[in-house]
Amino acid sequence: MKGKILLLLSISLTIVSISLAQYTPVYPPLPTDTVFIPGGSMAGAENEGSMEATINKDLNIDGTRVNPNRVYALFEGEVYYQLAPIIFNNPNPTSPDTLIIVGTSDPDPNYTSTTGLIQGTTKPLIRIKPTLGVDVHVNGYNGVNEVYGSIKMVNIQYKTMQLDGTIQNELFLCGTANQLPQSLTIHNCLFEFCNTDLFDCTDEYDAIGGWPYGAKFRITNSYFRNMFNIGKWFGGRIIDCREPIDTLWVENCTVTTGSLTFCSQKALTVFAYFNHNTFVNNVRYWLLSPFYIKLIVSHNIFMNQNWVGEDTNVTNTSQDPDNEFMSTINIDTTDAYHAVVVQPQYYNSITNTYSSAVSLSNMKVFVSDNVNFDDP
């Protein structure tokens, strides 16, 4: 059984704001254990490589992180040229470790930015700079950075396209150790360009294991633009997590030219909340998975959603076992027929049965005050 909801055009088109890249003060105060990393100017490229070098070398002699939850602060108004991958990995963590990168003003009141800009006017900008014709990538993988643990980013701007025009498949390859649950928090950030995924949390051919133990995503007040992948309509994803998700919270965000924007396929999301978001020229499905316990979609604008359309070649693929066309919002039964992967508490491995908590009759869906329209 499948339910499909096609959002209709509403007359309430009065407030449409996609200018989320402007500065908003965030993250005061910073914790005591914060490392401030100097950047430089666009033209001068002072301190290039400082960001990833500081993070990668912040280790004990046995390879463990000195403080696995230390904050790395980048200065507002400065540019950070990335020359090498960020490698964040505690070999044997006992609790979830988190890579935390934030943009902030320098605590020294006499500090003068190398760019000449007044602090608090622009986010710190990360640009990826190949060296001697060699792209920035993780050895053996088509990804820029590697993180075994959680990720938190606040008030930064990250350009995924490298300065030679290369875009690796993933900006962040995500994995976990010791079967720990992980989380991704993005607040007040701007990401530009994407090939396949910004954050790859699935054990794909070019990933490092994914987040299979109940991931949590919270993405707020952020702007994702120019996400298109010309060669593949299924690129342009913010996240790829075809694993059980505990929470997927997205609020006050804007996405332009994405595709499988929030990609969770054949896996259960316990709680999903989408409020006050704008999706413009989404090539394919902004939300692929139809399997939820609680789903809330309210006050969102969808403009040219799934503009490439579908045909029988698409419906006959494995994306939907029912071979039905996909709509803007899709819900379906979490069961063995659809081969849905769920958290351990929702599946009895002895009897091979799903808990009644995930049955269609117990699914709670709230859809209200959304706008869905096409504009040539």
Task: For residue 48, give the nearest of 125, 121, 133, 107 by alpha carbon.
Answer: 125
pLDDT digits (tens, 9 = 90+) for 14-39: 333 333 334 444 555 787 889 999 99
The predicted-structure confidence for 53-110, as pLDDT tens digits, reads as follows 999 999 999 888 999 889 999 999 899 999 999 999 988 888 889 999 999 887 666 6
Nearest to residue 315, comparing CAs of 304, 307, 305, 327? 327
The pLDDT value recorded for residue 16 is 36
Residue 257 has pLDDT above 50, yes or no: yes
Residue 224 has pLDDT above 90, yes or no: yes
Q: What is the pLDDT of residue 125?
A: 97
Average pLDDT over residues 182-198: 95
Mean pLDDT of the chain: 88
* Whole-number pLDDT of residue 23: 40
